[in-house]
Structure 1
């Protein structure tokens, strides 16, 4: 009977059509095995043959067990042989059938269905195949990559590494997906052992486990591999940090607790302080998954803290002194640890002060970033800042909310050289006491209700802000839609300032998002110690991708101007550590760090009279070694070419700067890509007025450059520029040369040669991806280029 059932189940599997034409059936199948009372599902394992048990459920009335068993196609004969030997093989020395203990507990074999994997309450499984929920996808370790690759192709929202749970033999990955997506994954890949509904939230630690928080925090602290003293640092410019916390003390030296005012205490000891909360997120990320995990948590960066907000009993900071206080804090940190790499994180803003125009505070940040702070010299470092966009007030009534554009980004987040961080959210599950029927205010993947924007700023004269968004939490809306509340289940978990009483607290808004962004940058710096701050900043923005709701909004309009407006809400998307560090075979990244002299003084002698003029000095050309034969094979296949250019400007916040961005920036750079039908000669001549066309070749207007997401007109202000071009392999094959060229700035208007002829740094990141088909772009390119991208420097007019 069992042999017939096994063969019938395999036949059913083999003859079943694919639920999605993009995927073929995996080289194996899942079976549901019914076992008698008292049996152990793990006895079914034959690990040497790849036969592995998964989800197991016991019937409450009969106590019979049903278990999922994955059997590779090539190992099906192993099971058939076991059953055949039991049925008709010679008896053992004790006159018993062979494999008696393996076979006799089995009472039935059939093809597994999705419900076979479901170990949660059956009511929690959605009936609608298109319904989207958070799933816990339990995977056998070593197979999770195959599972996640399929789910990624299905455009499911897969939680970052920080939200995955790692156990000795299992990895649990939260996935926001439809029921039909999960069914496709079960058809197309191996490794799924169990499915549950994602239902745990931070409220578990804030309510059910409130009394046991110290045990949870201590367990995590024991699993952390703490960083050495020479690790990169996140320097918090905030309200101070409670170093006594078990999850902070090993990564924050007592000597690194500093204050901008020597009379202030360095610990956040006041109401509404949030330095310790920032510290936990900047160090560990959201603690929700980390607390439940069982694996080691390596940590490769440290903390510093400089208190810039007054301690209790001291008067508030004067707005006019905020820039000076920030500069003092930066100097204190660098004097304390002059040889350390650091990322500056500041989630304090001048509330209700819009940042459209440069202020003394924002200009101080810009000046510090480029290494021109008072007291800096030629050897002073460049500095990377992360600043929060500011928060929409947490009103209690929906009617009190103003139109979205009425919540502009707050000072000093308009600083050109800083990365301004807004918020989006994936938090959708509400399980707090007293909130039955409440729904998340922001849908999955949309902007957090806390996040501000730059919609009201003059487009074309102000930078795109925020440039990136990170998880900032959500809010809950009542059944009638009128009441709004903040609740732990829709927020992040972090370290609390009252470590002896409540070491774990919930935390949200753009402060939380800014701490997460700083952590990501510190991890990148630890991986790439030779990368400049400009380069880390470029990688952050370059790795950002829009969520599905953001992408749908962008695709809903053909107007480049409207797309540019949308970017002022959510920037370039959500950055990813994995994407920032990856250079996989189908996603090729080229990174360049270079020095350019934008301007020069020209001397012309005519009739013995010497004339001085000021103009552009040089532009840089980078040949892009595309594998043209491969691209031409996929002539109709779309490719994505993404370009990010990052540099730091020296600010000049005079009155004219509000009218003309070129009066604020010391210099500006732009990138330009050779058009599909443009010859290299014409491309160079179109950029450089001193590039002469050969005799007989008439001048002509440059071809239109369509296919960009935002277009050249979007790059008008700011010091980081990012855009992506989508086009066919045929059009891409000839787009093999990119130029970095200077535009105007106040350095160019100065007669002093020491100012005019300064050099500047920039970072350029170019990525080529084939999103819909697997194409090995890396191998042919790696065979042709040296580790560094060659740059050709050419003088301009």
Structure 2
């Protein structure tokens, strides 16, 4: 099909310069403390808390004598728990939680460190002042609000309602331990005759190992009071669910005809690798693109065939898209990608006493096809979610998926690939009565949709045609272009979580009875896909975010096939770059002028609905500038510092923009990179502790001198006597604004305004922010380089405007074109 998007994207990877970078200070103001009063109160509270430690110390013959204990420390909100750490003394901060105006930290104090800790308070209270006139240990003592005795709740960072009150309640606990204390935990579990999850069921991150242990609350408390191995406690809750409605099956006799019109792919093409219930390869529309040796299962005894129909339906959408269209025409079709399948879910109910950690299981699933065909590029696709578990913060499962994407899961090395993982945001509950209907925001996106590096997919709908006897007077629940009734949102996640989902694809609709009493899911409001029962039901209706996720994975594989030299980070960025909002979505944004209130809209719709044509190529009126490069965010030179930023000179067509004058144009910026996750310690309350590194972008503002722009975004560009950055107001034409970026590894915003206002706004800065590479890692880690993808889109509102040609002509020949793009697709 012909498309105006037939021109190669423009490569600007060489259009940047590197510069030394210095970030801003924290800017936090501290309340003035009265030294003597503050230190005296803290010492009294510390003595009382340690006295409780001694009283609660368990004298269990199965365990060696305790060598220390936990207390709870209340810090000013936003204070780093690192101020409490003294590695030489064995002082080790662990679980961190934010509560209203305070931050609570579990602190382990060895017995032989008590005097030294008390000496810190005494030195602060009455010791001589520093040459700057400040008390010693000010940065440690003044952020402390209180010391208290520790309880099991101190180390519990999961949903408070999920912590059992009954001392004899037995369940799987996720015990977080420091990397060097895994063997000690195993020894304690063995002494107490507790069942610890096998080593292949544990997740390993840079600082912690997560070990599932089956125990009662009383046994966990015994472990806490008798040892110092526990850093943090959560539920081992990985209980996956997916959504398959029992809908009326529809029969078709056109499968063979369609299969005959398809040019099937060879072996050396990208694949969509499904993590699901298996696939029935016998289907005529699947078999030529799914080899038997590309079918796997995480447990050999499960077999590789589909036991549920969900995996086969996912496969049909991931390979062909909605089959309604190709079955209804007679056009030839060419497939540029294949399928792979890993059965992730067991044929029967999972054993509730099996310490299944779906983080480690998913990592095992990712390794299987790579072992079979290491040379193949692939997109991993999973529509499995953790039933009833919100994704508001990193979990063991979402962190494991972030490791898969970053190429840092166990067994990976510096040569391991980065990987694109596509996830579902999760589905709402399929209520049947209208009076039970809740809005989509009442259903928070489910774990592991919060994975930073994954591309998370929600659902919208364009389906509004109701067909079927007895439903003539029924109406569609959602309007065309609106949020699908099946899709969850991340509105209730708060500001410290990434914006999820990023993209919206067709997820189907539901129908409402004339009396507004009943709600049903009808075949005509679903997509059409391949069925597991190839004899009786070869075609089945398919809907919800599973269908949307399969479509997104298909698009990612098509894009990978069209651009084999693009990184997974770039594929993700291009899909987001191609996304646009439907008219109902645009109307909601336009009606809300407060940027902060727009964040909730973004948490419903992400960045819009993607388009394969816009993602694959540019048009004269709508083009993409692309950069793929790496950066060294930090360096270790005596102290840990920021290292560099990148300044891009954007080849904006000044003459055309001046001629357009007040005509509206759009400039969209998407920055994509993969972080190495570190979910331990304070990562659940501080995004900068979770990410290995972070990046942000800043565009030169209207009328801003270039030198002032650099001084504003980079303290290293300022005169040493200048303490403050030069101020230059922005024009407030961004859709979301910089405050919308607090977490995640994909950042996107769109500037819309008069073309003439873009004149002079041709410099973009990519700069680092904090991450655990800088704060807690060895020198070899601090000095690492990290790669990122940048996509800058310039779009006119009229198709007869040529923005593309003057940009290409302004770039040195040979820089602009990376790939030949077919004029027709």
TM-score scaled to structure 1, two decimals?
Answer: 0.70
Partner residue, 1:441: 477
Shift of 1:206: 7.3
Aligned 1:37-116 pairs, distance under 5 A: none
Aligned 8 A contact 1:463 1:717 in 2: yes
1:628 aligns with 2:654: yes
Deviation at 1:696, TM superposition (A): 12
Instruction: Give me the whole-angstrom Cα distance separating, in 1, the residues matched to 2:483 and 2:283.
Output: 32
Tell me the alpha carbon deviations over residues 37-65 of structure 1, each in whole angstroms, 9 at most, x when there is no partner: xxxxxxxxxxxxxxxxxxxxxxxxxxxxx
Equivalent residue in structure 2 for 1:648, among 663, 674, 678? 674
Candidates 323, 326, 329, aligned match of 1:290: 326
CA distance in structure 2 between the aligned counterparts of 1:698 and 1:145, rounded to whole angstroms = 48
1:492 aligned to 2:527? Answer: yes
CA drift at 1:436: 2.1
Change (3 A) 1:392 1:421: same
1:657 equivalenced with 2:683 (yes/no): yes
Deviations 1:87-136, CA, capped at 9 Å, x for gaps: xxxxxxxxxxxxxxxxxxxxxxxxxxxxxxxxxxxxxxxxxxxxxxxxxx
The aligned residue for residue 762 of structure 1 is 788
Say if 1:369 and 1:384, in contact at 8 Å, map to a contact too: yes
5+ unaligned residues in a row in structure 1: which ranges? 1-140, 147-204, 603-611, 791-797
The answer to whether the Cα contact below 8 Å between 2:574 and 2:791 also exists between their aligned partners in 1 is yes
Report the Cα distance in structure 2 between the residues aligned to 1:292 and 1:377, rounded to whole angstroms.
Answer: 48
- Structural mapping, 1:605-624, within 5 Å: 612-624=638-650
Say whether residues 1:228 and 2:254 are aligned partners. no
**Aligned residue number for residue 593 of structure 1:** 628
Q: Which residue number corresponds to residue 260 of structure 1?
A: 298
Verify the 8 A CA contact 1:310 1:317 in the aligned structure 2.
no
Aligned-CA RMSD value: 2.2
CA distance in 2 between partners of 1:751 and 1:450 (Å): 43
Runs of 4+ in structure 1 over 6 Å off: 694-699
Separation in 1 of the partners of 2:805 and 2:446? 46
Residue 583 of structure 1 aligns with which residue? 618
SS in 1 for 2:624: strand
1:542 equivalent in structure 2: 577
The answer to whether the 8 Å contact 1:309/1:317 transfers is no
Q: Distance in 1 between matches of 2:348 and 2:384?
A: 17
SS in 1 for 2:371: helix
Is contact 1:693-1:699 (8 Å) kept?
no
| Contact map agreement 2:290 2:339 (CA 8 A) in 1 | yes
Secondary structure of 2:666's aligned partner:
strand
Any conservation in 2 of the 1:592–1:789 contact (CA below 8 Å)? Answer: no
Residue 239 of structure 1 deviates from its aligned partner by 0.3
Query: How far off its partner does 1:546 sit?
Result: 0.6
Question: Structure 2 matches for 1:422-433, cutoff 5 A?
Answer: 422-433=458-469
What residue in structure 1 maps to residue 146 of structure 2?
A: none
Match of 1:747 among 751, 765, 773: 773
Which of 286, 297, 301 is matched with 1:248 structurally? Answer: 286
User: After superposition, what is the alpha-carbon deviation per residue over 1:385-410, rounded to whole angstroms, capped at 9, x for unaligned?
Assistant: 11111100111011112343220011
- 1:678–1:703 CA contact under 8 A, matched in 2: no
Matched, 1:322 2:348: no
Alignment length (residue pairs): 575
The separation in 2 between residues aligned to 1:633 and 1:353, in whole angstroms, is 54
Tell me: CA distance 1:699–1:393, structure 2 relative to 1, closer, same or farther (3 Å): closer
Q: Assess, with a 3 A threshold, how the Cα gap between structure 1 residues 337 and 480 changes in structure 2: closer, same or farther.
A: same
Q: How far is the alpha carbon of 1:788 from its aligned partner?
A: 3.7
Deviations for 1:179-207, whole angstroms, at most 9, x for unmatched residues?
xxxxxxxxxxxxxxxxxxxxxxxxxx978
Taking the TM superposition and a 5 Å limit, the aligned residue runs for 1:494-573 are: 494-573=529-608
User: What are structure 2's unaligned runs of at least 5 residues?
Assistant: 6-246, 818-825
What's the counterpart of residue 352 of structure 1?
Answer: 388
Q: 2:376 aligns with which of 340, 357, 377?
A: 340
**Residues 1:776 and 1:697: Cα distance change in structure 2 (over 3 Å):** farther
Secondary structure of the corresponding residue to residue 709 of structure 2? helix
1:390 and 1:452 in contact (8 A); partners too: yes
| CA 1:319–1:284: 2 relative to 1, 3 Å | farther
C-alpha change, 1:731 and 1:660, in structure 2 (3 Å) is: same
Q: How far, CA to CA, are the matches of 2:255 and 2:570 in structure 1?
A: 35
Partner of 2:36: none
Distance (whole Å) between structure 1 residues aligned to residue 468 and residue 422 of structure 2: 32
Larger radius of gyration: 1
Give the superposition deviation at 1:774. Answer: 2.6
1:310 and 1:316 in contact (8 A); partners too: no
* Gap change, CA 1:695 and 1:655, over 3 Å in 2: closer
Match of 1:726 in 2: 752
Larger RCO: 1 or 2 (CA < 8 Å, sep 6+): 2
Q: How far apart, CA to CA, are the structure 1 residues paired with 2:354 and 2:731?
A: 49
Q: Call closer, same or farther: CA 1:267–1:683 in 2, change over 3 Å.
A: same
Q: Which residue of 1 aligns with 2:180?
A: none
Superposition map of 1:30-429 within 5 A: 210=251, 213=252, 215-270=253-308, 273-312=309-348, 315=351, 318=354, 320-429=356-465
Q: Matched residue of 1:352: which SS?
A: coil
Contact 2:715–2:725 under 8 Å retained in 1: no
Alpha-carbon contact 1:320-1:360 (below 8 Å) kept: no
**In structure 2, C-alpha distance between the alignment counterparts of 1:324 and 1:696, rounded to whole Å:** 50
Report the secondary structure of 1:335's partner residue: helix
Distance 1:419 1:362 in 2: 12
Tell me which residue corresponds to 2:699: 673
- Measured against aligned partners, the alpha-carbon deviations of 1:599-628 in whole angstroms (never above 9, x if no partner) come to 0112xxxxxxxxx21111111111011121
The aligned counterpart of 2:221 is none
Per-residue CA deviation, residues 311-334 of structure 1 (Å, 9 max, x unaligned), is: 237636957511111011101110
The whole-number CA distance in structure 2 between the counterparts of 1:433 and 1:655 is 58
Contact 2:385 2:426 in 1 (8 A): yes
**How big is each residue's C-alpha offset from its partner over 1:455-508, in whole Å with a ceiling of 9 and x where there is no partner?**
11112x100011111000000000011210011000000000001221111010
Structure 1 Cα separation of the partners of residues 4 and 651 of structure 2: 30
Question: What's the TM-score, normalizing by structure 2?
Answer: 0.68
What secondary structure sits across from 1:353 in the alignment? Answer: coil
Deviations 1:527-579 (A, max 9, x none): 00000000000011111111000000010010101111100011001000011
Offset from partner CA, 1:267-295 (integer Å, 9 cap, x none):
1124xx40000000000000001001111
